[in-house]
Amino acid sequence: MKNYFSIQDIDSLSDWVYEAIEMKKNPLLDKTLGQDKTIGLLFFNPSLRTRLSTQKAALNLGMNVIVMNFAGEGWSLEYGDGTVMDQGHSEHVKEAAQVVSQYCDVLAIRAFAKLENREEDYSEKVVKNFIRYATIPVVNMESATGHPLQALTDAITIAEHKKTDKPKVVLSWAPHPKALPQAVANSFVEMMQRMDAHFVITHPVGFELANQITKEVPIDYNQKNAFRDADFIYVKNWSAYHEYGKTLQNDFTWKITEEKMKLTNDAKFMHCLPVRRNVVVDDAVIDSKNSIVIEQANNRTYAAQLVLKKILKNK
């Protein structure tokens, strides 16, 4: 594998999930694989789990890690072809990507959706241009439209916790004070279409995700109905896709409560974090024994480590 841009780069999901679970049992098995190799992590946005788990994954493989916060510290980058660069942008991605490629063996990038222009975000301007001009493999650490490391983590976590071969998994929208990207939800939806699961999405009218991603996945506009008999409740806020980047109405009746969790089949509660307590989910749910968010975050390391291992082995 050269780049890990989206979950389409996973050739055999069941093999990957199995390998990640094996790797978790003995994370230092390949501790010399990345010896004398360097990964560079570029962040255009904040991070806790992605930054530390990807570093941890690289360290487990014996790699060196260099990290740069691009937001505020890097030059403001230009992405257009043939632009007369007499405005605010100081450096073209063409040079930036080639230069970084000389310092590193693998490059990982986080660049969130700006939520201003749907076409621009869905063209994946930042990460795709880095892939275009870099001469080394590129890993997506949440781009404008996807978060494939999170989705791989979620597949691993569901595989570890499922009690039946085909669990019922519900992706539920929840309220949030800010407009958030669709990236996590998009990649989760794509992942659930590849997993053996009864998958349902529930959200208020107007929060439909891109049809090219949701395809035939059933949408239930009645959250309580969707929750019935669920084995996993995966919660995420996202802003509207059609009225792009808008929060529309922030319906607080969509918060995840103990009462709603009682409708489920003793479902596990999942969230990629960070989460706004008592806005997205009540303390009573996230602090309950059914909440697996901390273990889910732990699995970020093994998802990243598996991806890096495959890139290092060029398989």
Which stretches of the chain bind ligand SN0, using CB under 6 A? 178, 180-181, 183-184, 272, 274, 276
Give the integer Cα–Cα distance in Å for 201 and 269: 15
Strands 91-92 and 106-110: unpaired
Please state the closest distance from residue 142 (CB atom) to ligand SN0, in A. 6
Please state the closest distance from residue 237 (CB atom) to ligand SN0, in A. 7
Task: Identify the CA nearest to 247 among candidates 170, 176, 159.
Answer: 176
Angle at 186 between CA 94 and CA 74, to 5 degrees: 30
Closest to ligand SN0 by CB, 144 or 233: 144
Is the CB of residue 230 less than 8 Å from the CB of residue 192?
A: no
Closest to ligand SN0 by CB, 47 or 129: 47
Please state the closest distance from residue 18 (CB atom) to ligand SN0, in A. 25
Angle at 172 between CA 17 and CA 234, to 5 degrees: 30
Strand partners, 35: none
Is the CB of residue 210 less than 8 Å from the CB of residue 182?
A: yes
Please state the closest distance from residue 98 (CB atom) to ligand SN0, in A. 28
Closest to ligand SN0 by CB, 185 or 267: 185
Closest to ligand SN0 by CB, 180 or 189: 180
Please state the closest distance from residue 267 (CB atom) to ligand SN0, in A. 21
Closest to ligand SN0 by CB, 57 or 184: 184
Give the integer Cα–Cα distance in Å for 145 and 190: 12
Name the residue whose CB lies closest to ligand SN0: 180
